[in-house]
């Protein structure tokens, strides 16, 4: 048995859709160059990173942030906790990063 129901589009529905489109148009006008600004700032930040040296404190802070933000599983968290306690490992890691940065700078 087929039952058909007639649907009537009222002006309220059209008005809501029109308002949504107006909001979208305003959003596009307001943020049309946001992506370009973000891209430029990301490129600028990337170039700055190639000029900066990584320190022991930078590595310590990065490890602390990784441990505390709950994004790691327990195994990786334990590895970072062990690494955090070993000053030589952190210094070697910072040295390796600085060599990589130097190589990238030369390559660029």
- pLDDT computed for residue 85 by the predictor: 92
107 and 62 assigned to the same domain: yes
62 and 98 assigned to the same domain: yes
84 and 60 assigned to the same domain: yes
Residues 36 and 70: their CA atoms lie apart, in Å, by 32
Asked whether residue 4 is assigned to any structural domain, the reply reads: no
21 and 45 assigned to the same domain: yes
- pLDDT computed for residue 75 by the predictor: 92
Query: pLDDT class for 71, splitting at 50, 70, 90?
Result: confident
- pLDDT computed for residue 61 by the predictor: 92
Please give the residue range of the domain that contains residue 79. 53-108
**Considering only 3-7, 17-21, 36-40, 68-72, which range has the smallest mean pLDDT?**
3-7
35 and 70 assigned to the same domain: no
- pLDDT computed for residue 50 by the predictor: 72
Answer with the residue of higher pLDDT: 58 or 2.
Answer: 58
59 and 90 assigned to the same domain: yes
Over the stretch 22-35, which tens digit does the pLDDT of each residue have?
677 777 777 777 77
Query: By C-alpha distance, which of 41, 71, 58, 68 is closest to 98?
Result: 58
pTM for the full predicted model: 0.51
Query: Helices marked H in the chain — which ranges?
Result: 11-31, 34-49, 56-68, 74-85, 87-107
């Amino acid at each position: 048995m087929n039952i058909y129901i007639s649907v009537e589009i009222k002006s309220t529905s059209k008005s809501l859709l029109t308002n949504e489109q107006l909001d979208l148009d305003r959003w596009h006008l307001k943020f049309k160059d946001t992506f370009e600004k973000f891209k430029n700032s990301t490129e600028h930040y990337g170039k700055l990173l190639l000029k900066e040296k990584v320190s022991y404190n930078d590595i310590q802070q990065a490890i602390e942030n990784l441990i505390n933000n709950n994004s790691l599983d327990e195994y990786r968290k334990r590895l970072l906790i062990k690494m955090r306690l070993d000053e030589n490992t952190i210094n070697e890691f910072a040295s390796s990063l600085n060599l990589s940065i130097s190589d990238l700078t030369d390559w660029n």
